[in-house]
Amino acid sequence: MPPNYYLKPETALSKAKELIKVGKKQNALEMLYEMMKLKRGRVWHKNLQDLMVLFVDLCVELRKNIYFRKVIYLYKSMVVQECPQSMELVLDHYLSSIKKLTEEAHQKSKDAVLDIEDLDALDTPESLMLNAVTTEGVQDRSDKAILGPWLRFLWESYRLVLDLLRTMSKFEGFYYGIALEAYDFCIKYGRKNEFKKLTEALRVHSTRNQWQSNQQPPNPELQSLQIRIRMKQLDSAMDLEMYNDAFRAVEDIWGFFALSKKAGKSLVMKEYYTRISDLFFRSGSHLFHAAALLKLMNLSKEHKKTITIEEITTQASQVLCAILAIPLPQERLNFDKLLTSGESNAAKMKSLAVLLGLPTVPTRQTLIRDFLAFRVMNILPQELRKLFAVLETEFQPLKMYELIRPSLEFVKAQPELSSYLTNLEEVCIAKTVLQVSQVFRSIDFDHLCSLCPMVPPIKFERILVELIHNLELPIRIDHRNQ
């Protein structure tokens, strides 16, 4: 029941603790809730902060988000001018408490499954029926029963705090810190739907803030925070394998670069090109992966005055392997199978080129030309120089694999280059077939396979069929007489 008289914060705090001792936590919560709603005494002081901390503990333990939502807005009006750090303390305590209990629930969920497995318990009729009608395992059902309510509570709390702080300039740093924590939550618990909702909410908040401050000069610190949160969004999308959302994050970052005066800072751009090159590689866009690495190499050359020969060699080796690993011909390949936006390949390639600051869509040949302009070929390992010479300048259809086999073994042995091995082998096969087609009208299939022994015949045939389609080669495979 609401009190018909005003309690001082210290008195209310004492009474609430007494109720908690006798197990009446709900009554203590309601008493503090009604006391905080009173208009009288809405002036901040230290005792009020202690009362809010206890109120937070009760809201979290009883999972009463609606109580906290109503009170925190009242508390904001008390402290925003006099003691803003108290607001941060209360919100931080609120989220920290929920995260701690969520982690405990996560562990309880695992322990519940382990207890069953350790006891070698027989399947009950209920579990057999569940297994028959659902694909969920024991762990999935345990998570849903024990962990699910706490995950929902934590997610709602993140949304509440972000919505509370989005228009308060004094808490911009704290706001973006909470946003980063929310992305960590999505990654840790694999929450793809919540990731989409969080991203959209932050995008709406950002748009509203820009609209409200469009008459003022851009705030460099705010734009820096916006770029940082979009970088986190990009990392999270890649961790969750949500590549459409990752590319939208890249578009947002590039848009902030267009507005920010600090966009040209080498450290920020290095971070950007490193992330986007990784995204292109994961999504199968090998052409733009190589282009991003080339931009990164150019950035290092222009801004890093103390770069060593070893660093140049390592970076140039990766760039060369990335360029040579671009499939043939790039423009006819469905390079972005993981993207489902419905755009044509040509439109996508133009939009991706814009994200790298390129005036036109790059090609394999233009990237090779730009790489050679750095004049670093002479410092590369002999194996990589040989690989480039055989693939790009020599005509050796019958001996190509034998000539580059040491180079491929070298690439395989280097941790930073080994990811390009499969593509380099397929490029070698493509080059071999192209050169053989210029010499022979027909060739025994087994003989052709022997020229490319790095793959089994069935995989070689698949690659050959793709080449016929992509390169429009007039090649037929005679299976009848094979």
Tell me, yes or no, whether 22 and 147 share the same domain.
Answer: yes
Phi, psi of 265 (to 5 degrees): -60, 130
What number of other Cβ atoms are within 10 A of residue 350's Cβ? 14
**Does the residue 229 lie in any domain?**
yes
**Does the residue 477 lie in any domain?**
no
pLDDT tens digits for range 83-137: 888 899 999 999 999 999 999 988 887 765 434 343 334 355 555 555 555 545 4
**Does the residue 13 lie in any domain?**
yes
Above pLDDT 90, what percent of the chain? 38
**pLDDT value at residue 168:** 82
Taking the chain, what is the end-to-end CA distance rounded to the nearest angstrom?
A: 90
Tell me, yes or no, whether 324 and 447 share the same domain.
Answer: no
**pLDDT value at residue 217:** 53
- Whether 229 contacts 201, CB under 8 Å: no
pTM for the whole thing? 0.81
pLDDT tens digits for range 269-321: 889 999 999 999 998 899 999 999 999 999 888 776 677 888 899 999 999 99
What is the C-alpha R_g of the chain?
Answer: 31
Tell me, yes or no, whether 24 and 158 share the same domain.
Answer: yes
348, 380, 412 — which closes off a domain? 380
**Does the residue 78 lie in any domain?**
yes
pLDDT tens digits for range 12-54: 888 888 898 998 999 999 888 888 877 655 677 777 888 889 9
Tokens of 390: 């055989």
Lowest mean pLDDT of 208-212, 346-350, 375-379, name the range: 208-212
Tell me, yes or no, whether 173 and 153 share the same domain.
Answer: no
Q: What is the largest CA-CA distance in the chain?
A: 102
Tell me, yes or no, whether 404 and 366 share the same domain.
Answer: no
Q: Give the residue carrying structure tokens 């390592």.
A: 314
Tell me, yes or no, whether 303 and 356 share the same domain.
Answer: yes
Tell me, yes or no, whether 20 and 50 share the same domain.
Answer: yes
Tell me, yes or no, whether 33 and 96 share the same domain.
Answer: yes
Tell me, yes or no, whether 115 and 71 share the same domain.
Answer: yes
Quote the CA–CA distance of 64 and 58 in Å, as a whole number. 8
- Whether 31 contacts 14, CB under 8 Å: no
**pLDDT value at residue 113:** 42
What number of other Cβ atoms are within 10 A of residue 176's Cβ? 20
Quote the CA–CA distance of 139 and 110 in Å, as a whole number. 7
Quote the CA–CA distance of 476 and 464 in Å, as a whole number. 10
The helix (run of H) or strand (run of E) holding residue 153 is helix 148-165
pLDDT tens digits for range 186-230: 999 999 999 999 999 998 888 766 645 554 555 677 778 888 899
**pLDDT value at residue 333:** 46
Q: Bigger pLDDT: 344 or 108?
A: 108
Overall domain count for the chain? 4
Tell me, yes or no, whether 150 and 214 share the same domain.
Answer: no
Tell me, yes or no, whether 69 and 114 share the same domain.
Answer: yes
354, 380, 406 — which closes off a domain? 380
Q: If you average pLDDT over residues 56-78, what whole number do you get? A: 90
**Does the residue 388 lie in any domain?**
no
**Does the residue 466 lie in any domain?**
yes
Tell me, yes or no, whether 368 and 421 share the same domain.
Answer: no
Using DSSP's 3-state secondary structure scheme, residue 336 falls into coil
209, 243, 263 — which closes off a domain? 263
**Does the residue 480 lie in any domain?**
no
Structural domain harbouring 185: 166-263
Tokens of 128: 């057999």
**pLDDT value at residue 122:** 39
Quote the CA–CA distance of 469 and 287 in Å, as a whole number. 19
**Does the residue 126 lie in any domain?**
no
